[in-house]
A = this chain, B = another copy of it.
Amino acid sequence: MPKIARTIAHQAHVGELALIRSIRQRAPNVSLGQVRLGIGDDCALLRPRPGEELAVTTDLSIAGRHFTLATHPPESIGHRAIARGLSDLAAMGARPVAAFVSLAVPQELSSEWTNRFYDGLLRLAQAHKTTLAGGDLSEAPIPLADIVLVGSVPAGRALLRSGARPGQILYVTGALGGSAAGLAKLAEESDSDRKVSNRRRSSNADAALALHLYPQPRIAQGLWLRKKGIATAAIDLSDGLSTDLTHLCEESRVAAEIDAQLLPIHPSATLQQALSGGEDYELLFTAPELTRVPRSIAGVPVTQIGRILRRGGKRATVTLKTAQGARPLQPTGWQHFV
């Protein structure tokens, strides 16, 4: 948007002017005609197709809270910042259209850092045909970004959190806990000598690290579920299964039970990480019992993990069944960096 060009012009800072030109050049309009006007005016203009609604989501990423400069490469910080919004679109079954990136960085952070942040962000944006249509750029004592994603979905057809009904079956895409295991690995490595640690790393740990640094939002899976009319409700697993399932139950006014033995736990992860790790960006969805749900969607496995129950008076919202019996599962997710 306007602001990018505008703010920078004021700073009359040749390096940043060059940076902003390069961002603008690297932000081609890839949204198939829905972005009518991008960076350069007071607002961007989006023209939805007839009969479509726009889904809008916004996510803050703040140093020390969602990432740290010491452990996360700038490409990963950019990738993760936009992955969060893309994953929200996936959970609605929406097709990405445009992204708006408000970035604030300390003066001492090099323009190379900012360039690499945009490298990671734009690579994922373009993989999902998302046009960088605007944003803002400022200075702040710590780096932070607020990313807005806009997607399109046929009117009245978005997958909501509120559609789950008692008797329906709970499914997740992919594996759980990988991101949390990768984060634990990352913290461990930053405490010790990186090279030694690298040598010790297993291929599972490598895979978990990649899941943490470069999570893949399930856009294709969300679109498929919405188009086929299979899912009755959906939410993305950004905050951990225990927390996000609680949210889904609250919005649908139901309860749920999940079976620990069914959970597709990432090979590097513990049960606890699978339940509350967060940032897996998989989809959790419900479907009627008699609906045939495939074992994989667009190459990503789909696993049945439990079912939706009627909401009881004193019953816990979410129950975890294990070999030792059943226990209430509290929402314990969202373990970022604090």
Contacts and interface: CB of A to CB of B under 8 A. Distances in A.
Interface of A: 1-3, 5-7, 9-10, 36-37, 40-48, 50, 53-60, 62, 64-65, 88-89, 91-92, 94, 98, 100, 102, 104, 133-136, 138-142, 144, 146, 148-151, 153, 155, 158, 160-162, 234-236, 239, 243, 246-247, 251, 331, 333-334, 338
A36 B88 CA distance: 17
A55 B94 CA distance: 19
Contacts of A155: 36, 47
A44 B55 contact: yes
A141 B142 contact: yes
A50 B53 contact: no
Contact of A65 (B53, B140, B153, B234): B140
A338 B44 CA distance: 27
B42 A236 contact: yes
Given A3-B57, A58-B136, A140-B142, 4 more contacts: A41-B92, A43-B55, A45-B55, A140-B144
A144 B62 CA distance: 11
A243 B162 CA distance: 48
Given A60-B136, A333-B10, A334-B10, A54 B45 contact: yes
Nearest to A334: B10
Nearest to A159: B42
Contact of A140 (B41, B59, B62, B102): B62
A247 to B, nearest CB: 6
Q: How many copies does the complex hold?
A: 2
A161 to B, nearest CB: 5
B331 A41 contact: no
Contacts of A148: 56, 58, 100, 148
B48 A48 contact: yes
A239 B64 CA distance: 32
Contacts of A135: 58
A251 B41 contact: yes
A159 B155 CA distance: 28
B138 A62 contact: yes
Contact of A146 (B44, B136, B150): B136
Contacts of A53: 36, 45-47
Nearest to A149: B43
Contacts of A144: 104, 140, 144
Nearest to A87: B42
Given A2-B57, A44-B57, A331 B36 contact: no
Given A58-B134, A134-B58, A239-B10, A160 B65 contact: no
In this complex, which of A102, A133, A243 has the most chain B Cβ atoms within 10 angstroms of its Cβ? A102
Contacts of A37: 158, 160
A104 B65 CA distance: 11
Contacts of A64: 141
B92 A60 contact: no
